[in-house]
Structure 1
Amino acid sequence: MTDDEARFAYLAEGNAKQARKRVAADLLIRDEAGRILVVNPTYKENWDLPGGMAESNEPPRAAGERELTEELGLTVVAGRVLVLDWIGPHGPWDDQLVFIFDGGTLSATQVETISISDPEISDFAFVELAEAKAMLRPDMAQRLARAHDALATGATDYSE
């Protein structure tokens, strides 16, 4: 075994032992009236922002874009990170990183093309911020409010 091969094997062993993080990537998408796109997942009690879990070795931004295309047939280029949260272990779940990206503002034509293309989603709607917050789980409602504020301030909101 060469020195390079031995070093690679050593690094690969270390990589295999390091912690892995679950990563969720959601998108804050608005229509021309400023209403927020929310989706109703079939596997959760509350509505949610469009997006989902990153696959192995998938960048968070790409995960959000992929989930949006899979679930609603909509293609957008995710903008900057509005919110990044670390969520500690809870229930059966390990810790997780949650990103909310700016999904931009859709034209009326883009809104008309949205169609549910994944059985994980039963419905979608564009709603005002207050209504969206009432439809989401309390932790997601708080995250949405912070993301909405981050749109105005130009900051990224990080929380643990």
Structure 2
Amino acid sequence: MTPAADTPTPADPEAWNAYLAEGNAKQARKRVAADILLRDPSGHVLLVNPTYKPDWDLPGGMAEDNEPPERTVERELVEELGLRVTVRGLLVVDWVAPHGPWDDQIAFVFDGGTISQDQAGRLRPQDGELSEIAFVPPAQAPRLLGARTGRRLTAALDALAAGRARYLRDGVPVG
């Protein structure tokens, strides 16, 4: 397909970049959430109790502008729990449909591995966003979480066991 006569080309980098920026400005923006699955030596999963919503949650949070999801979860862990971990891999990608006042979003769950009993025992909320934390047996954890997040956790545990990431739509496996 031949571009229209008035469409800039890469031969004029300034006009081309302005043309691409205009197209970029018209494209949809997605909110991005990134959480992490952390376990203690007994296999219990770390849950956090946010002060700003009714259900417990996985540790993590919302990405800032142009922030990669794995960096988001690392930053949130330091801010909220004072914990530094190495992200070990991707477990879940979940497309979340618009709900309430919110547009759609992409939610990631990463594997944070197992932290030591000493680290687990020292964890405390570091800011006003969390009221408490708990290591919970995996079978009990979904009951503390909202329905979608509970399904996401179950998929993350399945992905961890299978060694293969899962794609979800609103917390439901696709394919």
Normalised to the residue count of structure 1, the TM-score between the two structures is 0.96
SS of the counterpart of 2:100? coil
Instruction: State whether residues 91 and 166 of structure 2, in contact with CA within 8 Å, keep that contact through their aligned partners in structure 1.
Output: yes
Q: Say yes or no: does 1:53 pair with 2:53.
A: no
Q: Take 1:94 and 1:73, find their aligned partners in 2: how far apart are those partners? A: 30
Runs of 4+ in structure 1 displaced over 4 angstroms? none
Aligned-pair identity in percent equals 58
1:11-160 → structure 2 map (5 Å cutoff): 11-160=20-169
Q: Take 1:33 and 1:126, find their aligned partners in 2: how far apart are those partners? A: 9
Q: Take 2:105 and 2:163, find their aligned partners in 1: how far apart are those partners? A: 24
Counterpart of 2:88, as a letter, is: G
SS of the counterpart of 1:58? coil
Counterpart of 2:64, as a letter, is: E
Counterpart of 1:54, as a letter, is: A
RMSD between superposed Cα atoms in Å: 1.1
C-alpha displacement of 1:51: 0.2
C-alpha displacement of 1:139: 1.1
Higher relative contact order (CA 8 A, sep 6+): 1
Matched residue count: 159
Q: Which runs of 5+ in 2 are unaligned?
A: 1-10, 170-175
C-alpha displacement of 1:57: 0.1
Q: Take 1:159 and 1:136, find their aligned partners in 2: how far apart are those partners? A: 17
Instruction: State whether residues 74 and 113 of structure 1, in contact with CA within 8 Å, keep that contact through their aligned partners in structure 2.
Output: no
C-alpha displacement of 1:149: 0.8
SS of the counterpart of 1:63? helix
Deviates more, 1:104-113 or 1:143-152: 104-113
Q: Take 2:12 and 2:160, find their aligned partners in 1: how far apart are those partners? A: 50
**What's 1:3 paired with?**
12
Counterpart of 2:84, as a letter, is: T
Counterpart of 1:71, as a letter, is: E
Give per-residue Cα distances to partners, 1:91-128, cap 9 Å, x unaligned.
11111001000011001222233221110100001010
Normalised to the residue count of structure 2, the TM-score between the two structures is 0.88
Q: Which runs of 5+ in 1 are unaligned?
A: none
